[in-house]
Structure 1
């Protein structure tokens, strides 16, 4: 009988020890929190409403947390350092209007695409000179640091002869300098540019998107179980119509299938 009690005690002790080999998904469920990194200055995908982060990406992240049975915690992180912060385990995943690129895929893993986008030019409403990329010759162009907008601008600098590229920590700073006349144009993602120009009569988008891009949710390369679950949830959100509902809420139209 005494041996039985010793065995039971050992079993209880062993079960109470931390599970060092637990997967990312198991750790999230055990903690009861899904920590998400996002640069919360990119409306309508992520922005602050009072002291609360809101937006298209935030709603998607909330649905993922709900499907996992945990609560969501958004950690506001500069886009330029967001991949490094993910790799340093500051949070579990990134959802921040991040374009899937081959370069980024060397460092992190992406979910299936959840949004189609592209780069477009934004100018002041009184500007009659800039109608497309070729008209950026000799101009000063603003971009957000670490984005595909910055990459596109650097390519155009060689191709069309942009005079200067100014990189900003956040895209609202670039739009502000454009409005104040410190920039001739801003290169940025189409949906965000449309959102800003719609809400600011001094700005307008010109031309057509000159790149094709897709956004993905990013996780660490080793977190394969979490990635599988995120993909499963994204597929289900589209199947149930919840994705369409969120899309229409933030963009005023239904997604193109």
Structure 2
């Protein structure tokens, strides 16, 4: 057998490296194709535009934390977005029937919801708070739990985790549900109810709102909840991209900037644990 020439040896080495790089490129392209398959079509974002500052209408256009975050995702994922406005109670079924790809509506992670959807990493932690009228002097120094045991009338947003919380007081409190937080706050101002239970951002927003100067929040967390986006369990590649996007926004500071823009005033309190 003739000895192999140095030139032939180097040629074979180079060819081997090129074959390895070609295989690696094919693997990477395949991985990227599966990850970005969702971007072949516009991503359909399910929203309910009645929850300031999370999602609401401002001058007839969608605005809020979720909208700004979705636009940041659009830039990171290089996907087109289409917003699908639905009543809050229809969002989960829309995701399950493939009418939307992502729910971005200030959705709380709950055990029951985890049975039907996959949640991305939480991007906010908050909870339910109680809001009362400023002239309700007898209520100011009491714990919300004590107030809810006095036979008053309590309001909540239908389909929210606030509704689930007040249900435990059904035997002692008259409960009234409303389609949105804004309607509930108006009913509180009109004295139809004595107390309104809703997510912390609603309470924080009161501090800078001129429309609710007669209302005040009782800054005690009644629950502790994580807020996250939801996707169908059949789209794990999309969930990976959402989490990657969140990590990028968190590291760059964009996540905090967006939240601070819409919630300039927050009150940090401990969960009361009841």
Shorter-chain TM-score range: 0.7 to 0.9
**Structure 1 residue 252 corresponds to structure 2 residue 259:** no
Can you give the 5+ residue segments of structure 2 that lack an aligned partner in the other structure? 1-32, 269-274
1:155 is displaced (CA, Å) by 1.8
Matched residue, 2:178: 168
Partner in structure 2 of residue 220 of structure 1? 232
In structure 1, what is the Cα distance between the partners aligned to 2:216 and 2:46? Answer: 30
1:42-86 residue CA offsets vs partner (Å, 9 max, x unmatched) = 111111112210101111111112211122222221111210111
Q: Report how far residue 156 of structure 1 moved.
A: 3.2
Check the 8 A contact 1:248/1:255 in 2, yes or no: no
- What secondary structure, in the 3-state scheme, does the structure 2 residue paired with 1:175 have? helix
Deviation string, structure 1 residues 4-47 (Cα, Å, up to 9, x no partner): xxxxxxxxxxxxxxxxxx96851x3112x221111111111111
Aligned positions, number: 230
User: Which residue of 2 is the match for residue 152 of structure 1?
Assistant: 165
Q: Kindly indicate whether the alpha-carbon contact (under 8 Å) linking 1:24 and 1:223 is maintained by their aligned counterparts in 2.
A: no
Check conservation: 1:115, 1:215, Cα contact below 8 A: yes
Within 5 A, what are the aligned runs for 1:1-257? 25-26=36-37, 28-31=38-41, 33-130=42-139, 131=142, 132-136=144-148, 137-158=150-171, 161-162=172-173, 164-196=174-206, 198-199=208-209, 200-252=212-264
Deviations 1:129-184 (A, max 9, x none): 323221122111111111110000102335xx22x111111111111111111011
CA distance in 2, matches of 1:77, 1:23: 29
1:198/1:138 CA distance change after superposition, 3 Å: farther
Q: Radius of gyration: which is bigger?
A: 2
SS of alignment partner, residue 112 of structure 1: coil
RMSD: 2.0
- Could you state the TM-score of these two structures normalised by the residue count of structure 1? 0.84
Preserved CA contact (<8 Å) 1:125 1:204: yes
Give the Cα–Cα distance (whole angstroms) in 2 for the partners of residues 209 and 254 of structure 1.
Answer: 12
Instruction: Answer with 181-190 or 127-136: which moved more.
Output: 127-136
State the alpha-carbon separation in 1 of the partners of residues 94 and 221 from structure 2. Answer: 30
Shift in Å at residue 103 of structure 1?
Answer: 0.7
Q: Tell me if the contact between 2:206 and 2:213 (Cα under 8 Å) persists in the aligned partners.
A: no
User: Distance between the aligned counterparts of 1:255 and 1:217, measured in 2?
Assistant: 24
- The 1:222/1:255 distance shift into structure 2, 3 A limit, reads farther
Q: Deviation string for 1:201-233 (max 9, x for gaps)?
A: 011101411211110100011111100110010
Query: How many Å apart are 1:254 and its aligned residue?
Result: 9.1
Give the direction of change, closer, same or farther, for the CA distance of 1:177–1:232 in structure 2 (3 Å limit): same
Output the TM-score relative to the length of structure 2.
0.79
